[in-house]
Amino acid sequence: MTRRDMWKMFLGAAAMPAAAQQQAARATNGLPPLKITGFKVIATNGGRGYRWIFLKLLTSEPGLYGLGTASNHYQTHAVIAALEKHLGPWLIGKEAGRIEDLWQSAHYRTYWRNGPVNNNVLSALDMALWDIKGKRANMPVYELLGGKARDAVPCYDHAGGRDMDAAVASVQASMAKGFRHIRVQYGAGGYGGGGFIPAKQGNRPEDGYQGPAFDEETYVNTIPKVFEYVRSKVGMEPKLCHDAHSHLSGINAIELSRRLQPYQMLFLEDVLAPEQIHWYKQIRQVCTTPQAVGEVFSHPYEYVPLIVDRVIDFARCRVSAIGGITPAKKLAVLCEPFGCKTAFQEGGENDPINQLAAYHVDISSTAFGIQEENAFPPSVHEMMPGCAEIRKGYLYGSGKPGLGIDIDEAVAAKYPLGEIRNGGAYGTDRTLEGAVVRP
């Protein structure tokens, strides 16, 4: 590359014919063309054992950059390599303002597309581009998406307990904090709790698996009793939901949905694994328990038949898992005419940039339903000024231009990723006979 070519690439305007320059200037309120000139991948544990991967996109305008997230708790280093070795170098010299074009060309850049790693890095790019556009326009991203369709974003809290009274006390504590929407989990063993046979108990194969063992029928018998008890103590006012985390097969998914109907759920979440989504039509035929689906979907098109056939009520993917703000907004637009709503996923290992990306789509979308709660420790607020806040059950963005959040790289550097034990794998539940249960 010659010095002249370099000059053209980084100044952009010099490479454009005069008429095109004038048109570009009109379209951007007189701002000069903007090129992507570099990138940084920022990996940090945030002072609390997170595995967060952020992308900082640098531009030809001095001091103007965008932030996005590619965080993937279970394939962290694959995402770092995909950004550093593949997406980043491809981006240099591209026009930062052409978000849709860059999303499409980045999506097809890998030839084999979709999947969590590809769409994580696509999300990082997409969010950073929206952040840049918002900062340039001096507006929060939601203004560019159509402006506020509500005053703030309600979130559902996480409650639960190892026994019925502990679950009730936890729901009451959430209500006292101001939450109107509350997810209730139950028992020991994490997701699937209420369905586990304790370690070493039950009839097991000789020399076989001895850990807590998940049993579908036990779970289906237990969970409705929990909600019957909780409703008897707190009444019908709080909107309650429950996450089955894909642990059930078809008929048991129908049976749990049917038995929960009297307790007027906000939704039952992921009662089926993504491999078994065709059962949602059968659930719809026998009961009215609303269904929230798609936490582990990584392609927004996976939702199309479920939404168009009106067999689910909430699309609840993670924005940073499906490719960012651009596909999340399209998903919300698809939901609207079919009466489906969004319930973007958060989860404890998630990061503040993803939370804010979801917020900007939520607050500007008619199809918004609810967002999952996520709160961060002081070390994260110190590292990331502009972090969203939840007060009395509502999520508030900073109101600053772009996504409204920044990262102090010196603070992030104090919290390196560190060793990721066991390859970072998600835990595996098993049955009494030692078979794998879908997470």
Residues in contact with Mg ion by the rule CB under 5 A: 243, 295
Least separation in angstroms between CB 339 and Mg ion: 22
Sheet hosting strand 65-69, strand order edge to edge: 36-44, 52-59, 65-69
The residue among 284 and 316 lying less far from Mg ion, judged by its C-beta, is 316
Closest CA to 201 of 218, 185, 186, 225: 218
CA atoms within 13 A on the CB side of 232: 8
The answer to whether the beta carbons of residues 220 and 255 sit under 8 Å apart is yes
The residue among 41 and 266 lying less far from Mg ion, judged by its C-beta, is 266
Q: Which element (helix H / strand E) includes 357?
A: helix 352-363
Closest CA to 379 of 39, 41, 25, 52: 52
Sole residue written with tokens 């849709």: 100
Least separation in angstroms between CB 318 and Mg ion: 10
Output the DSSP codes for 273-335: -GGGGGGHHHHHHH----EEE-TT---GGGGHHHHHTT--SEE---HHHHTSHHHHHHHHHHH
- Residues carrying an active site annotation: 191, 245
Least separation in angstroms between CB 140 and Mg ion: 28
Whole-angstrom Cα distance, residue 131 to residue 133?
Answer: 6
The residue among 242 and 299 lying less far from Mg ion, judged by its C-beta, is 242
Least separation in angstroms between CB 267 and Mg ion: 11
Least separation in angstroms between CB 245 and Mg ion: 6
The residue among 157 and 295 lying less far from Mg ion, judged by its C-beta, is 295
Least separation in angstroms between CB 270 and Mg ion: 5
Look at residue 200 and give its three-state secondary structure. Answer: coil
CA atoms within 13 A on the CB side of 266: 23
CB 3: neighbour CB atoms within 10 A? 7
The residue among 103 and 186 lying less far from Mg ion, judged by its C-beta, is 186
The residue among 295 and 429 lying less far from Mg ion, judged by its C-beta, is 295
